[in-house]
Every structure is written in C-alpha cells, then in structure tokens.
C-alpha cells in the first residue's frame, strides 16, 4: 500500500520535478546518440535518484520505528498527516529564519560543485553518481514524501514508499532526457496544481493509518493499540 501511495504522489508531482531537475536531465552527458544507449544512461541516472530516496526513507523509517516503540506510532502518523496538510495549504504558517536559509544554501552550493564535476564526465558510474546527488537536492515535494516516510514508522514500508515516489517521478524525467521534452512554464504550472491533491491523499492516508480503524491496508489495527491487561501472577 505504501509503495502505491508514494507512486501516486510521485506521478502527481512529476511536473514539479521537471521544472526543478529538468535542466540537469537535459545536461546529462551521453557517449552515444543511440536511443538504446541514451535509455540506459537515463536508467542509471534515475536509478541513482531512486536509491537515494530509498536510503533516506529507510533512515527516517528507522527513526519512526524507534519512536513507535514508545507507543507513539499512531500519534506520530496523525501528527505527520496533519502537518502535511498545514504545510501544503497554509505554508505561510511556517517560516525559515535567515540563518537557517544561509546554512541550507551553503550545503546546496557544495552539491552544485560536485554536480559540475560529474556533468563533465561520461560513463555509467558518473551518471549513477549524478542521480545519487540529485536525490539530495532541496525540494519541497521530496520533503513532503520524507515526512510521510517518517510517519509510516517502519523502515521497510518507508523505503517502499520512497521507492514508489521515485518511480512515480521517473517517467517525466525520462521523457525530458530521452525525448528532449521540456514542458512549458504554463503547462508545468497547470500540473503543479495537482500536487496539493497528491499530498492531501497521502496525508489523509497517514491520519487514517494512525487512527487504526481496522481497515485492511488503509487503516490496519496496529499491535501497539492493543493493550493487554497485566495479570497478577503473584500467589
């Protein structure tokens, strides 16, 4: 279920990815203009992106699992879902300080320097490395997906969610690089309007998951919600 939810979010937000990472996809160095060779290059590049998402999802899933051991799994899922809705539909509620911004963008500057070096190389390792770095670039949509993976509180499911998210964004990125398609700003803007709906779907699923309504796959009853009575074994 998690991988499907991530895939839906990725598909609906794919045009956002085109706008943010499309120029990088277009700049990918190819040794050959053969279509098959270009397709393989794209597979390595997008594979790197997806693996980075999966690693990040696994890390956050482990953190969420640690939190769940304290009996807060349901609450965490509901809180993450609510925050996703608030950040999507009322973004001005949260503001980042100037110092946080400067620290944040200094890290981005270092990533860009690595990007430049890999863009000058040709080869599968360079393309794969480029994809790995691309997965670390700042992106609001990726942050939303990572927040959801934290709320899932299970490293396997969190990894699956981020894998689905990466796979969902891949077709649009593939089209940009392989077919040379770069959607116009107006078209991207129209598709970007779908992103809040994708975020809302995932957020609602997170909230329902935390409520443990007993609905298979969507809102299963979690083991932590079942409180076993403590029997007095003293004689």
pLDDT for position 187: 59
Tokens of 175: 């089209």
- Choose from 71-85, 89-103, 135-149, 211-225 the range with maximum mean pLDDT: 135-149
Q: Which residues contact 59 (CB under 8 A, 6 or more apart)?
A: none
Q: Is pLDDT larger for residue 228 or for residue 114?
A: 114
Q: What is the mean pLDDT of residues 83-91?
A: 76
pLDDT for position 224: 46
pLDDT for position 186: 63
Q: What is the mean pLDDT of residues 136-157?
A: 85
Token pair 């270092």: residue: 110
Q: Domain map of the chain by residue range?
A: 2-223
pLDDT for position 158: 93
pLDDT for position 230: 40
Measured between alpha carbons, how far is residue 64 from residues 7, 58, 123, 156, 208 in Å? 21, 10, 37, 11, 17
Confidence of residue 164 (pLDDT cuts 50, 70, 90): very high
pLDDT for position 156: 93
pLDDT for position 17: 75
Contact indicator for 124, 45 with CB cutoff of 8 Å: no
Comparing 98-107, 114-123, 159-168, which segment has the lowest mean pLDDT? 98-107
Using DSSP's 3-state secondary structure scheme, residue 214 falls into coil
pLDDT for position 78: 85
Task: Specify which residues 67 forms β-bridges with.
Answer: none
Q: What is the mean pLDDT of residues 96-107?
A: 49
Look at residue 99 and tell me whether its pLDDT is greater than 70: no
Confidence of residue 135 (pLDDT cuts 50, 70, 90): confident
Task: Specify which residues 215 forms β-bridges with.
Answer: 219
């Amino acid at each position: 279920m998690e991988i499907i939810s991530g895939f839906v979010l990725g598909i609906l937000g794919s045009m956002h990815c085109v706008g943010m990472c499309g120029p990088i996809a277009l700049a990918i160095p190819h040794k050959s203009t053969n279509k098959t060779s270009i397709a393989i290059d794209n597979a390595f590049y997008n594979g790197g992106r997806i693996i980075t998402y999966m690693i990040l999802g696994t890390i956050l899933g482990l953190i969420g699992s640690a939190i769940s051991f304290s009996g807060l799994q349901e609450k965490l899922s509901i809180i993450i879902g609510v925050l996703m809705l608030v950040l999507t539909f009322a973004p001005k509620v949260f503001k980042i300080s100037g110092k946080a911004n400067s620290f944040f963008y200094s890290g981005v500057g270092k990533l860009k320097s690595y990007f430049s070096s890999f863009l000058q190389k040709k080869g599968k390792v360079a393309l794969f490395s480029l994809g790995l770095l691309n997965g670390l670039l700042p992106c609001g949509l990726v942050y939303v997906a990572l927040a959801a993976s934290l709320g899932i509180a299970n490293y396997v499911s969190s990894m699956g969610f981020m894998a689905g998210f990466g796979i969902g964004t891949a077709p649009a990125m593939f089209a940009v690089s392989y077919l040379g398609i770069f959607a116009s700003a107006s078209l991207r803007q129209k598709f970007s309007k779908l992103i809040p709906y994708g975020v809302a779907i995932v957020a609602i699923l997170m909230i329902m998951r935390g409520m443990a309504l007993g609905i298979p796959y969507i809102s299963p009853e979690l083991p932590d919600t079942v409180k076993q009575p403590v029997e007095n074994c003293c004689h």
